[in-house]
């Protein structure tokens, strides 16, 4: 398989990933975690795991996801807090019917919630 490298600030190192990755979700999609009670809007996607080893090892082994899948950066919320989450593809499902996300940073990055998703503000896309 043809592979490429990119620098991950979270991991503090170069990450090797396939040139083509099969992301199930896109930037602006609203998703819900399958195991934990939170939801969020996707603001970035890594084609494979690209966070620190400490972060990865902190996940209990029995639920630790494989590294070779897309990982999503979310502006996340639950009943108590708003925060940034990093979640594997296998642990997410669509939650567009749940309505907009009430994270304080949503309006800095996205335009209004329409048709079940957010659109990235002009000038913020790569």
In a domain, 120, yes or no: no
In a domain, 42, yes or no: yes
pLDDT of 91 reads 97
pLDDT of 46 reads 92
**Distances in whole angstroms, Cα of residue 82 to Cα of each of 13, 18, 76, 90, 117:** 28, 32, 6, 22, 18
In a domain, 58, yes or no: yes
Residue 30 CA to residue 12 CA, distance in Å, equals: 28
pLDDT of 32 reads 97
pLDDT of 96 reads 86
User: What are the mean pLDDT values of the chain's consecutive 10-residue runs (126 residues total)?
Assistant: 65 64 91 96 94 93 93 96 97 94 95 93 70
In a domain, 103, yes or no: yes
Domain of 98, in residue numbers = 3-109
Q: Is the dihedral of CA 80, 71, 25, 45 positive or negative?
A: positive
pLDDT of 80 reads 95
CATH number at residue 60: 2.30.30.390
Tell me how many domains the chain contains: 1
């Amino acid at each position: 398989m043809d592979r490429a490298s990119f620098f991950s600030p979270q991991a503090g190192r170069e990450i090797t990933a396939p040139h083509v990755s099969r992301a199930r979700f896109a930037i602006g999609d609203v998703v819900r975690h399958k195991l934990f009670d939170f939801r969020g809007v996707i603001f970035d996607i890594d084609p494979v795991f690209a966070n620190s080893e400490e972060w990865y090892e902190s996940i209990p082994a029995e639920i630790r996801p494989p590294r070779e899948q897309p990982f999503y950066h979310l502006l996340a919320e639950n009943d108590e807090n708003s925060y940034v989450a990093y979640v594997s593809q296998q642990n997410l499902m669509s939650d567009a019917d749940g309505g907009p996300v009430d994270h304080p940073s949503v309006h800095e990055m996205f335009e209004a919630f329409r048709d079940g998703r957010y659109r990235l503000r002009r000038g913020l896309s790569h």
